[in-house]
Amino acid sequence: MTRQLVVNADDLGLTEGVNRAVIAAHLEGIVTSVSLLAVGQAFDHAVRLLHDHPALSVGAHLAVVGEDPPLLTAAEVPTLLDRRGRFPQSYRTVVLRAFTGRLDPGDVRRELAAQLERIRAAGLPVAHLDTHQHTHLWPSVGLVVADLAHASGVRWVRLPTSRSAGPMGVMVRRLSEGLARELDKRGLRYPDAYAGLDEAGRLDTVRFARAVAEVAADLRRGEVAEINTHPGEADDPDLDRFAWRYQWEEERQMLTDPTSREHVRYHGFTLTSFAAVTDGEPR
């Protein structure tokens, strides 16, 4: 069996421009899987596109950050919101609240369950779970995501990690190890290698080639890797409210560049999706 690679596009539903870029990266490029943001302002547009392109594997991009309002009311999830009644912009706020005991796991559970239900109610099968800005690396969120996946029959959960040598990279790797233990306890699956956190918003053709080589080096024959990406359209005005400085259009171009597919083949990968490998045995 050849090694398998899931190329996932995050933030589907964020804007209509992101939605169009994701579909283009699927039809013209190497995207096999998407993560749908249930709280995104372009969610309904994304759902219509997904029904038109059923070959795309769909995951839930569960959010407790990102400046958008939650699905539940401020009275139902008070510890998740800022003064405007929206999620905070950065994962740092979530980590600080959790570290100081000001993040109620019950609020997290109620909101994330509502987001997953919204996606399923739209008639979309959910093949994997992950989170906006990888907040499930933090135990207060990760335990909820693991329990939610197990209870809802979703077999795959993203396991982010980092190759950075700095303090942040060390912390991410330790948190990733803890999350893996929780997923193992519940018989859940996660990719055997991963890239995308260190490169978020900056995956041009050179960085993608490096990422493919790195995950290939981490795998044995027959294992599964994931690289998550963030395609978008140039000059999308709806992205101006985010201060992430992502190179959205450059990532879209990389995903549709024939050399990216060549790098996948060179390293012995077959493109797959989470939906296509869910019949495998748990780790």
Each residue's pLDDT tens digit, 142-151: 999 999 999 9
Span 32-54, pLDDT tens digits: 999 999 999 999 999 999 999 99
Phi first, then psi, for residue 279 (nearest 5°) are -85, 5
Span 159-214, pLDDT tens digits: 999 999 999 999 999 999 999 999 999 999 999 999 999 999 899 999 999 999 99
| Residue 55: Cβ-neighbour burial (10 angstroms; 0-12, 13-18, 19+) | exposed
Residue 264 scores a pLDDT above 80: yes
Structure confidence at residue 223 (pLDDT): 93
Structure confidence at residue 280 (pLDDT): 43
Percent of the chain with pLDDT over 70: 98
**What's the sign of the alpha-carbon dihedral 44, 46, 47, 52?**
positive
Percent of the chain with pLDDT over 90: 81
Structure confidence at residue 282 (pLDDT): 34
Per-residue pLDDT, averaged over 102-120, amounts to 96
Q: CB of 46 within 8 A of CB of 12?
A: yes
- Dist CA 183 CA 146 (whole Å): 6
Question: Across the chain, what does the average pLDDT equal?
Answer: 93
Per-residue pLDDT, averaged over 254-260, amounts to 98
Domains of the chain with CATH codes: 3-277 (3.20.20.370)
Per-residue pLDDT, averaged over 212-217, amounts to 97
Q: Look up tokens 């093949």; give the residue.
A: 127
Structure confidence at residue 1 (pLDDT): 61
Q: What angle do CA 48, 49, 50 make, to 5 degrees?
A: 90
Per-residue pLDDT, averaged over 50-61, amounts to 97
Residue 276 scores a pLDDT above 80: yes
Structure confidence at residue 217 (pLDDT): 95
Per-residue pLDDT, averaged over 85-100, amounts to 81
Confidence class of residue 283 from pLDDT cuts 50, 70 and 90? very low
Span 80-90, pLDDT tens digits: 988 888 888 77
Structure confidence at residue 125 (pLDDT): 97
Structure confidence at residue 96 (pLDDT): 81
Helical segments of 72-104, H only: 91-99
| Residue 208: Cβ-neighbour burial (10 angstroms; 0-12, 13-18, 19+) | buried
